[in-house]
Structure 1
Amino acid sequence: MYRHEITEIAPHTWCLSEFRLVNAFLIEGEEKAALVDTGCGIGDLAGEVRALTDKPLIILLTHTHFDHDGGVFEFPGVPVYVNPLDGERAEEDHKNMEKFMGTTDYNKMRSFYIQSRGPIRCPDLDQEELLKLVPNHPTEGSYPWHPVNDGDVIDLGGRTIKAILTPGHTPGSTCFLDAENHILFSGDCANISIILERQPENDMRLVDICNHTMTKLWNQESSFERLAVGHDAVTLDKQIVRDYRDLSAGLLDGSITGKYEETGFRKGDVARLGMAELWYQCDA
């Protein structure tokens, strides 16, 4: 049976890859540990976490899309922290995901995620074996949460993590900075590929928000060297933030133009620069 792929990226810091579909990250301090995102809830993430640490746990969500908070149910009683701009719309996010996937059954959603993303992200794995890791009992999609705001500092005991509000992919998307180890846990704020939903009449509002976010992050680039990302890699060089800043600026001033593409499970208008690939009017 498949298990999460675990990579130590710094002392007491691990990536727990949900079969290359999506990443979660465990950060251990002297007094407690933080789990950044929880994946979709496929397999035994809780067991893998407890094999790595016995410290009291908190969950830090980069955003409330299903593939990042779908595993919260595995951690009953564990405090969940999310920016209120996402926390207050978590139910809406899940309803949109249910509408897109055509079901309100979270396990069917997990199966759909494997079937649609698996052939792209982990083609060497047996998709039928992955489907066997979907829970065979109903799981709760909603959860109580606590607010984490821009600039908040989470003390894990001898190790602090700073929350940075980074809207674009969602209004409350949040990165978590481990300045001591020079790692920015970026969720879907900055991956190899960024998805921004198509706007009415192709309005460029989200591109402008993305540009402000990337400018904000690049202004702090001396505090991190790597991004610990949500998909398609484990870590990326920080230069990708600069590339997204310049790419979004070029789209806004007209010096860069994108085009419509259909690639894998993505459809929409996309532009590229350096390491950056921005789906800035994405339909799927």
Structure 2
Amino acid sequence: MKKSLKKILFTVLTVFAVFFVVACGNKEDTKINKEEVLQKSAEAYKNIKSADMLINLKMEPKKSGQPMELAMDVSITLEPIAMKMSMDIKDQNVKLNSFIKDDIMYIQNPIDNSWIKQALPEDVSNQFKNMVNSEDETYEVLKNNLDKVNIKEEGGNYIISVTKDTDFLKEAIKKQNSKVNMAGQNLDLNVDNVTLEYVVDKETYDTKSSVVAFDTNIQGQDVRMTVDSAFSNVNNIKEITVPEEALNATATPAN
């Protein structure tokens, strides 16, 4: 179960490594310069220092098996890197709270609500940094495939979608995943049939929400994974505060 959850979480990181700048597509309307929209979205991404995220991740087996759904409420700052996350495993009555701050991870036991803490592994810290520094590369991927990205204007937003000929996204996710991999563990994510839809503010070019879906294989089972995300409170989080009981927890050696 721990390995499965790790893979799910790092799948989310992989999706966001591509997502943050994928939200810069083209537009069917010839009045709007496709490359300009891409560039301005990439610039908006570079200015993101903090945000709140509501993430719903759903895994539906292609054949037999029960679907699995996770709901995550995340607050994150990038300078310095800190994160607060509450994760609900639906239909299992399991809620997991965790923090990352000052290179320390804090995790609350969902059974007795006690806390453990351990030093943040260097590879995990590097994964966050790789996500933050991926914008130029992803910008190039999209700029080189403008004919495959569609955008329409609606209610003061750009609705950006990629639903056909998405092999270029498959390769982009695969490449980003290699950067977000945990050291010493095989968490390579092979994806197919990728579809994307993003809502981007027309004035600020900030991403407001997204839906990313793809086929993949987890522990030998073919599944359709959908990640539905909403962003808010961009650049308004001053500090992530760790509860006193977590700060006072007994340190546990990292595995």
Q: Which has the higher contact order (CA 8 A, sep 6+)?
A: 2
Q: Give the TM-score range, shorter chain.
A: 0.3 to 0.5
Task: Give the number of the structure whose residues are more often strand, by fraction.
Answer: 2
Q: TM-score, normalised by structure 2?
A: 0.32
The TM-score with structure 1 as length reference comes to 0.30
